[in-house]
Structure 1
């Protein structure tokens, strides 16, 4: 079998070469620093935890600092770093390039300096995604904490093309990472805007007025029990159907996408006969479901009649209330804090139906409700759009990583 990837840039046809990494690179270790050494300013440093919490193929911007110690390992630019320990073999079978010089390399990091045959970014990519990733996972040793040594890295069989093809591959993935990062930042910015508006467009700390309002609205928000806002409170049965064949969807918390429920995700549907025989509770379209236990405080709008488990309680609103406003009301921190105070339990929260019924929330007129709901629907639509773009980009990148390496 020839050493060629499934997808290549035009003009490249040669077989890829295979060599032991130890023959074409030198190895060292970072040292001397841990999280306790971090300071608000000083010399920039990369600690091994960054490769888990904020993984990037190429590290250009460093926002963690320490006071420089003697005998520190400082980058010259182009080093490839690999964690020396982690919780699983897959965790530590990843690599990043330290792009710039003058960066301190902290302890528990293996440091690889490639020779003239290898592009550093290509090396980091293939260690993290090619056959080398599988080989390193097998070499990682340990039980509760697994370890990977430079001696393990030296024995890796690296398959690689000529340098100019490596650089083409590296440039492609660096551009993709830049685009993905841009979408991630836009998504995070939208989420921060929504978070701020959820705090400011709903009253808090016992007030009957929100911090900011739309022009023309000055009336006091009214205090209302949920029994006034909702006509019915539906507590699902604990029993789960044994047979799934019918037309009414069975919904789990994993099926929530944004503000709505994707009833096709679980692929489970219940027949009318099963609903009748088990006396299952159907939550009608146009209701809210709010998680009352386990993953606490999740809320979604019911866009099809459905059945769910006891994680949720179904809330059927009366006609004087806008369902999209009620969704945002339950997302607001002031409501979530009230629910949290009502919950029982230490590690797993639970709110009884009676507690929901007696909960008091502040609500405005329906006209103002609709004004508020429109702005949050617009933001949520933008968040969903950016999330889909981001997911698609990440899927494209994942597919290329699988097909552009041997």
Structure 2
């Protein structure tokens, strides 16, 4: 009896709720429908099932094709068969935005009992429970899974009372709104950083940045980068002499942290480049990212593959240079012309040294630009941590409030 009770009662409940959740067949909760669009709904009412919004850029070959679309009403659920890391057998998505239409490839189910829309929004989409259900009532294809509706309706799920559904749904929906608000704040900060970076460094061919800190008026000068760089060529003499580092667009990481311990550079890293604290390394990149420059601020000495050159600066602020190389237009234009390789591009250090960069010759101006963006980045990091914490709280609540 005890084990049965544990299965039917969530770990975390609102006061006043003590009864077991009731085991119900999906056929007692939903019915499969196939309500076709009679052209009452036009292009502006096509809904993205994956992201739950009206698709402003939707296109069809002709208006008549809209008759093949299924009507998808507020409160109904649709099955999306795309397999992913988070949804091994596809997933159900609830319509929380209003009536519209979706492609005929999505099967639609309508609730036939009283329900709380926000409770079911999260519950019907919760992989630890629904993944087991869908594993038994879907058929795998190459890229997607197909739902067998009659088998799905035979499956069962534990359901709380409507009053408890409303309490849970309100809490989770409020938390989601809070998460969305923090995400917008974070995105706005990142956009501001990008805009400031564009204004605080001169555009190609210009000698003054659009925006400057007070007290600085001198012309920026074009200089050969090699005059300010010192290559560092020390390599490891034994395996695992220092921690292996991974250079990415998001920064420099211990490789075991970056890959969650599932990937190592090689079994033997003897002969790898050593990166002392405060020194640069840069990695080849794919697509339009070209390259990304990182400074070792995480360990006294780390190591990287010999594909990644290591250097430091003289008479030039390192943090300032990192910003200009990563976000300025001059290096990007240079790299597009001189990069080597195919899908993975690289650039030897001797080519990097030939770059002519328009820089501030004032160390004070370099330092103030660098300090400003370091402070800005700390603010972004703080907001990112708050957002990550809220998402962890939501995950913990889902685990404890669902059976």
TM-score by length of 1: 0.81
Gaps of at least 5 residues in structure 2 are 262-267
1:326 equivalent in alignment to 2:331: no
| Equivalent pair of 2:137/2:148 in contact (CA under 8 Å) | no
Aligned residue in 2 for 1:36: none
1:181 equivalent in alignment to 2:180: yes
Q: Secondary structure at the match of 2:109?
A: strand
1:22 equivalent in alignment to 2:27: yes
Change in Cα spacing, 1:143 to 1:219, as seen in structure 2 (3 Å) is: same
Aligned residue in 1 for 2:277: 285
Change in Cα spacing, 1:46 to 1:297, as seen in structure 2 (3 Å) is: same
Q: Secondary structure at the match of 1:137?
A: helix
How many Å apart are 1:328 and its aligned residue? 0.9
Distance 2:332 2:103 in 1: 40
How many Å apart are 1:30 and its aligned residue? 7.4
Distance 2:32 2:307 in 1: 52
Distance 2:323 2:358 in 1: 13
- 198-207 or 386-395, larger mean C-alpha shift: 198-207
Aligned residue in 2 for 1:297: 291
| Equivalent pair of 1:79/1:114 in contact (CA under 8 Å) | yes
| Equivalent pair of 2:186/2:384 in contact (CA under 8 Å) | yes
Aligned residue in 2 for 1:271: none
Aligned residue in 2 for 1:208: 207
How many Å apart are 1:92 and its aligned residue? 5.3
Gaps of at least 5 residues in structure 1 are 33-40, 269-273
Change in Cα spacing, 1:341 to 1:139, as seen in structure 2 (3 Å) is: farther
**In structure 2, which of residues 91, 94, 101 is the aligned counterpart of residue 94 of structure 1?**
91
RMSD: 3.2
Per-residue displacement from partner, 1:277-326 (whole Å, max 9, x unpaired)?
A: x45432221222221356852322212322122353222111x2112211
Q: Secondary structure at the match of 2:375?
A: helix
Aligned residue in 2 for 1:44: 45
Q: Secondary structure at the match of 2:222?
A: strand
Change in Cα spacing, 1:122 to 1:249, as seen in structure 2 (3 Å) is: same
Trace 1:7-406 onto structure 2 (pairs within 5 A): 7-29=12-34, 43-48=44-49, 51=50, 54=51, 59=52, 62-64=54-56, 69-70=66-67, 72-86=69-83, 90=87, 93-129=90-126, 130-145=128-143, 146-234=145-233, 242=239, 244=240, 248-253=242-247, 261=253, 265=257, 278-293=270-285, 296-303=290-297, 304=299, 305-318=301-314, 320-334=315-329, 335-364=331-360, 365-406=362-403
Distance 1:65 1:339 in 2: 34
